[in-house]
Amino acid sequence: MLAHLFPDADVPVVQLSINATKPFEDHVELGRRLAPLRDEGVLIVGSGNVVHNLRRIDWSQPDGAFDWAQRFDDDARQHMATSPAGVLDLAAHPDFDASVPTPDHFLPLLYLAGLADVDGTGCDVLVDGYTYGSLSMTSYTLGADCPPAGDVTSSAAELPEPSLVPPEATNT
Protein backbone atom coordinates (compact mmCIF):
# COMPACT_ATOMS: atom_id res chain seq x y z
CA MET A 1 0.00 0.00 0.00
CA LEU A 2 2.72 2.51 0.90
CA ALA A 3 4.44 1.89 -2.44
CA HIS A 4 1.33 3.35 -4.06
CA LEU A 5 1.03 6.29 -1.66
CA PHE A 6 4.72 7.17 -1.74
CA PRO A 7 6.14 5.71 -4.99
CA ASP A 8 9.47 7.49 -4.48
CA ALA A 9 9.89 5.73 -1.11
CA ASP A 10 10.97 9.06 0.36
CA VAL A 11 9.35 8.62 3.78
CA PRO A 12 10.65 6.63 6.72
CA VAL A 13 8.49 3.67 7.70
CA VAL A 14 8.32 1.82 11.01
CA GLN A 15 6.17 -1.28 11.07
CA LEU A 16 4.67 -2.40 14.37
CA SER A 17 3.73 -5.97 15.09
CA ILE A 18 0.35 -6.81 16.54
CA ASN A 19 0.23 -9.08 19.54
CA ALA A 20 -3.06 -10.92 19.06
CA THR A 21 -2.72 -12.59 22.46
CA LYS A 22 -3.35 -9.29 24.27
CA PRO A 23 -6.87 -8.23 25.27
CA PHE A 24 -8.64 -5.77 22.98
CA GLU A 25 -8.36 -3.06 25.64
CA ASP A 26 -4.55 -3.19 25.36
CA HIS A 27 -4.74 -2.37 21.65
CA VAL A 28 -6.97 0.65 22.22
CA GLU A 29 -4.59 1.79 24.97
CA LEU A 30 -1.59 1.45 22.65
CA GLY A 31 -3.46 3.59 20.11
CA ARG A 32 -3.89 6.23 22.82
CA ARG A 33 -0.17 6.06 23.62
CA LEU A 34 0.73 6.52 19.93
CA ALA A 35 -1.45 9.64 19.63
CA PRO A 36 1.30 12.19 20.49
CA LEU A 37 3.19 11.08 17.39
CA ARG A 38 0.48 12.70 15.25
CA ASP A 39 1.44 16.08 16.75
CA GLU A 40 4.94 15.48 15.43
CA GLY A 41 3.69 14.90 11.88
CA VAL A 42 3.78 11.12 11.95
CA LEU A 43 1.25 9.44 9.66
CA ILE A 44 -0.21 6.38 11.37
CA VAL A 45 -1.73 3.79 9.06
CA GLY A 46 -3.64 0.72 10.18
CA SER A 47 -4.48 -1.95 7.66
CA GLY A 48 -7.23 -4.53 8.02
CA ASN A 49 -10.92 -5.17 7.44
CA VAL A 50 -13.61 -4.68 10.05
CA VAL A 51 -15.42 -7.79 8.77
CA HIS A 52 -13.02 -10.43 7.46
CA ASN A 53 -14.24 -14.01 7.22
CA LEU A 54 -12.53 -15.87 4.40
CA ARG A 55 -14.26 -19.14 5.28
CA ARG A 56 -17.67 -17.64 4.49
CA ILE A 57 -16.82 -16.03 1.14
CA ASP A 58 -19.63 -16.22 -1.40
CA TRP A 59 -18.14 -15.80 -4.87
CA SER A 60 -21.59 -14.99 -6.27
CA GLN A 61 -21.63 -11.72 -4.26
CA PRO A 62 -18.67 -9.73 -5.65
CA ASP A 63 -20.17 -6.46 -4.35
CA GLY A 64 -22.57 -7.76 -1.71
CA ALA A 65 -22.67 -8.62 1.97
CA PHE A 66 -24.45 -11.05 4.23
CA ASP A 67 -26.87 -9.39 6.64
CA TRP A 68 -24.68 -10.29 9.64
CA ALA A 69 -21.68 -8.60 8.00
CA GLN A 70 -23.69 -5.44 7.37
CA ARG A 71 -25.07 -5.35 10.93
CA PHE A 72 -21.62 -5.71 12.45
CA ASP A 73 -20.01 -3.21 10.08
CA ASP A 74 -22.83 -0.69 10.68
CA ASP A 75 -22.37 -0.94 14.45
CA ALA A 76 -18.61 -0.53 14.08
CA ARG A 77 -19.21 2.55 11.92
CA GLN A 78 -21.54 4.04 14.54
CA HIS A 79 -18.94 3.57 17.28
CA MET A 80 -16.09 4.95 15.19
CA ALA A 81 -18.12 8.06 14.29
CA THR A 82 -19.45 8.90 17.74
CA SER A 83 -17.60 7.07 20.53
CA PRO A 84 -14.49 5.34 19.19
CA ALA A 85 -13.42 3.74 22.47
CA GLY A 86 -16.86 2.12 22.57
CA VAL A 87 -15.71 -0.10 19.71
CA LEU A 88 -14.64 -2.48 22.47
CA ASP A 89 -18.34 -3.28 22.94
CA LEU A 90 -18.26 -5.03 19.57
CA ALA A 91 -16.67 -8.07 21.23
CA ALA A 92 -20.12 -8.80 22.70
CA HIS A 93 -21.96 -8.18 19.41
CA PRO A 94 -24.10 -11.16 18.30
CA ASP A 95 -22.38 -11.14 14.89
CA PHE A 96 -18.83 -10.85 16.27
CA ASP A 97 -17.83 -14.49 15.80
CA ALA A 98 -18.95 -14.58 12.17
CA SER A 99 -17.45 -11.15 11.42
CA VAL A 100 -14.16 -11.58 13.30
CA PRO A 101 -13.22 -15.27 13.28
CA THR A 102 -9.57 -14.23 13.80
CA PRO A 103 -8.49 -10.90 15.30
CA ASP A 104 -5.63 -10.00 12.93
CA HIS A 105 -7.73 -7.86 10.55
CA PHE A 106 -9.87 -6.34 13.32
CA LEU A 107 -7.10 -5.20 15.67
CA PRO A 108 -5.91 -2.23 13.55
CA LEU A 109 -9.36 -0.68 14.08
CA LEU A 110 -8.70 -0.71 17.83
CA TYR A 111 -5.51 1.33 17.41
CA LEU A 112 -7.44 3.91 15.42
CA ALA A 113 -10.14 3.92 18.10
CA GLY A 114 -7.47 4.77 20.69
CA LEU A 115 -6.09 7.57 18.52
CA ALA A 116 -9.58 9.00 17.99
CA ASP A 117 -10.37 8.73 21.70
CA VAL A 118 -7.39 10.94 22.53
CA ASP A 119 -8.34 13.31 19.70
CA GLY A 120 -11.83 13.59 21.20
CA THR A 121 -13.49 13.18 17.81
CA GLY A 122 -14.99 10.45 15.73
CA CYS A 123 -13.61 8.99 12.55
CA ASP A 124 -14.84 9.53 9.01
CA VAL A 125 -15.45 6.77 6.51
CA LEU A 126 -12.94 6.95 3.68
CA VAL A 127 -13.87 3.78 1.77
CA ASP A 128 -17.16 1.96 2.09
CA GLY A 129 -18.42 -1.28 0.64
CA TYR A 130 -18.50 -5.04 0.80
CA THR A 131 -17.19 -7.89 -1.25
CA TYR A 132 -17.96 -11.59 -1.49
CA GLY A 133 -20.54 -11.45 1.29
CA SER A 134 -18.13 -11.77 4.20
CA LEU A 135 -15.64 -8.94 3.73
CA SER A 136 -16.14 -5.30 4.64
CA MET A 137 -13.93 -2.84 2.84
CA THR A 138 -14.76 0.01 5.25
CA SER A 139 -11.76 2.25 5.92
CA TYR A 140 -11.59 5.19 8.29
CA THR A 141 -9.66 8.42 8.59
CA LEU A 142 -8.97 10.65 11.56
CA GLY A 143 -8.48 14.32 10.86
CA ALA A 144 -7.73 13.81 7.17
CA ASP A 145 -8.93 16.37 4.66
CA CYS A 146 -10.70 14.01 2.29
CA PRO A 147 -13.60 14.73 -0.05
CA PRO A 148 -16.96 13.46 1.19
CA ALA A 149 -18.07 10.06 -0.06
CA GLY A 150 -19.49 10.35 -3.55
CA ASP A 151 -17.76 13.70 -4.13
CA VAL A 152 -15.09 12.41 -6.47
CA THR A 153 -13.79 15.07 -8.83
CA SER A 154 -10.99 13.07 -10.40
CA SER A 155 -9.87 9.51 -10.79
CA ALA A 156 -7.14 7.89 -8.76
CA ALA A 157 -3.56 8.28 -9.87
CA GLU A 158 -2.24 5.65 -12.23
CA LEU A 159 -0.34 2.88 -10.50
CA PRO A 160 3.23 2.23 -11.61
CA GLU A 161 3.94 -0.70 -13.87
CA PRO A 162 4.29 -3.84 -11.72
CA SER A 163 7.83 -4.30 -12.94
CA LEU A 164 8.75 -0.90 -11.47
CA VAL A 165 7.64 -1.87 -7.97
CA PRO A 166 8.85 -5.38 -7.19
CA PRO A 167 6.58 -7.34 -4.81
CA GLU A 168 9.26 -7.58 -2.14
CA ALA A 169 9.36 -3.77 -2.00
CA THR A 170 5.64 -3.31 -1.40
CA ASN A 171 5.19 -5.24 1.87
CA THR A 172 1.98 -6.78 0.58
3-state secondary structure 124-154: EEEECCEECECEECCEEECCCCCCCCCCCCC
pLDDT of residue 171: 47
pLDDT of residue 149: 58
By the 8 A CB rule, do 146 and 124 touch?
A: yes
Where residue 44 falls among pLDDT bands split at 50, 70, 90?
confident
pLDDT of residue 157: 54
Tens digit of each residue's pLDDT (9 = 90 or more) over 119-151: 999 999 888 899 999 999 898 999 887 666 555
By the 8 A CB rule, do 89 and 95 touch?
A: no
Tens digit of each residue's pLDDT (9 = 90 or more) over 79-119: 999 999 999 999 999 999 999 999 999 999 999 999 999 99
Domains and CATH numbers, the chain: 22-142 (3.40.830.10)
